[in-house]
Structure 1
């Protein structure tokens, strides 16, 4: 047995003791679990200069890479004998490129992608660390790395590129989350045409008029970035086999991230396939699912909270927001056996669905991800009998929902506020006399420096339902609406023209957004039929929204001209 102290496994922050024996090697930290590898799983080894000294990179037969860093230069001869005598493999000495160039050649190996400069590797990317890849442009490929599930050191979750997919990324305080490659030009792809190669040789004159088949090799020019993208998808095992999908939903409208995506549901993850971007998302990153009926009575929204959030360049999406038409139905047969549905998913999934699309999508997510469905609180209903209240965050219009333990604002910017993180809620009026009499604002003050969130332009008729709900949830409420404002509100309520204009329910413009999410009390059984129906708005809704605002402006001008006369009469 040969032993080495002060060795780091897979970029771990804490060193350990590494021991080599004829049947394999093991690594044991001062605190944590021991890692071992059998000699039969060692496919190769490399020696190179690294961060903490010299590194031995062991190639696993399952195409993963184990890194042992911290060796001294004089250990090379000793380790060479170990690998040659005990593991029947050579310890190859590899020199890295030190020029610092940002251009070179990408080489796809068995276990990692190498970026070579002058035929020397500048850096390597293990396929096990790659979460996703996308075509960010015509000649640009974005590579996204797996986010760590924990920041602790010395744990199994944190040490293990050799132990699990993508665990090396949690080794340091700072983490590389994305890298982009610019790949210009075209590349040649050789394809064989069907036919017999022997027939082609026997009848070489077939092209001039012979009847025999000849196998030809055709070279086609393709975008080099596309070839790089397709190869990386295959090597990193990002795309999954179509036969493994349990269900597929086509052309689903997403408000966040914006666009239409096909949804492929797998055993441990689901994939969003769009025209430009593809996303692969693990079910374990789903923290909450919410069903939100939209007040236009035409659409329903499904919100899925993700932690860590979905990334697209510098933009993070902690929320997926999908929108479905209420009356759109689907017939779906899940690609799984009845035994799997009962044993693994506890009967939460049906093998056959013939229901509204939003209901089927919700049920499938509920079953595969193991998350219950949160719905708006049954104790709250708006003045118009809906679960959502039309309001704004700054200039963005949307809908505010009162859940059992939180507020949820969608679609842009989607904002989640848990009740237990709220210090108090303030009712106030902002604006001139007329606008203040028609609408009001609520400001939610957060704990622990979370800041304030203001929801503006809420219809005056929603004040009483909100106050009653806040009282029921034991939330502190401060009312800054003065007596003059109350008198204006009473006058506005007596105005028949103003009252009638507010009775219209106008669909807000569909926007995009994302937000953070906490645990929320959930409904055990999701029954969409018992909920208010919701749906997606049409383009005509934008016109109606504009005309509505014009009508409000006209009413406002009329009120401004008439009100001084009323005050003059009371003075006399």
Structure 2
């Protein structure tokens, strides 16, 4: 006997088509994918049907417990292969069943096994597993079905209403709606509120979603009743349980992982986080029927005594039939398995577990090791001395998670932990730190930080007057400024000039110079001052050395610009590929990749919308310009014409100017001052010579 295997087959799970491979052997049919493995034993099979699934041939396994498994993606020619294999090896023949797809609105609804079957003229239209139903409400002649939501699909069925009229000829007819509701709730794993719960937990603090709730635990569901919101969670949607201690040592977190998550408005919560005080002891009474005692065996007692968090974890462990995951051997610097850090500026605790990382909270997340490609220890430059580091986790799907501001003492412990788990570290350098050695030798020397620190210390030590606080005396300050102006050279209305260290002044700083060079030195100072006053204001320059342009003021009446086809498509489909924890850049990257993969037929709709928007913009812009729009903005953006520099008469004459004019009365031609380079003028500047010549002519006229 040879096994039969099919690739490119998909498994239907709450509207999601999971791709994988299906293999038939002598005892079972096994479906394998990256996310899920489903095994159907021959002994559990009640019947097999060949029917359409997602517009492709598929196979439906009806099981003995009333449930079913549906797989599709086959070819029409595969029917003979599968039928001959099951007939010869399993002794089960496959029945071909064509769906009735005429689209009639009238039909018959009944619960068969664990599925709701809709049929018309004794032919099936479609079926829905009862386990997908989150609530069923009976309202006179109408039954309302609400369904669990799956976050992995963009479109899902929210609600369905079935009208069941009463036949007036049959007076003793039973209530169809109530009978239908009872059958759906029985197989959907839901219990009515009127039934007795196993136990009641009052005033339990829940940090995610925030609030205090009364919790009713039923064998198949958990009901949370708060002041504003109520939730009903099926037990089958709880897939993991965590019990971790808080870093303070006084509190404990009990975490429930949900799939699908619960909703609070537009917010989805994939985790429930309950917080308990470690020293809170409370007796818990459990109501167990004979059927429940047989179901749970000796794992659950009628009376539980001890810490409340232990009793709750035992109760959920038995009811959900799941293991409670606790921290492993990792112990951080605080003596607990928790590491204090931030994620996207939200403070929380990171727990290195045996098979992944658990972060609490905002958002609560569990990162399995099999999803991680590598880790990275990054340096954090929060201060002059690095006391923290950043921990980056790279996932196999291409995204990354960053946990900031971890204490430096956690570096070596986390590094050894990752090595034991055989997780790749991109910068495999282990740093040992001493707790009391802040400026340790392993710190990298940063010259820029050292320079800034030294300059700051120098400024603090340079001014002794700033060491004490004194009252500000306005009159004293004004007198001081007047004395400084009178004692300085030149006119009091002109600012002091800066000179290069290579000037011909006396090194003593008194301003005295040799008698032969006095006239030329004074004239050069005066020419530089005059040049500054006549020189036009230079335009402001940007970082690239180009002149800055004035910012244009947008006209509010100007029409809105046309939108491209990509942005129209992106705005309409952004939420479809956005996932929890994605940044704006991540969503844009995913949108660009999806747009590139789309064909011309898929883009045609959005390109037509973009063309209509462009035509709209051109028409509105034409009307806008016709009414005189755009002229005001153009006039405001135009640069004003530069005025020619004009020399204003000097109001006051300095001592040097008077002495220069007296010396210039002689018939001898005044000597031209030698040019001296300054910060404002360069040797190649022609305007210097013109300014000096005009100064000489003024002196001659005097």
TM-score norm. by structure 1 comes to 0.50
Higher relative contact order (CA 8 A, sep 6+): 1
| Bigger CA radius of gyration | 2
User: Of Structure 1 and Structure 2, which has the larger fraction of its residues in strand?
Assistant: 1
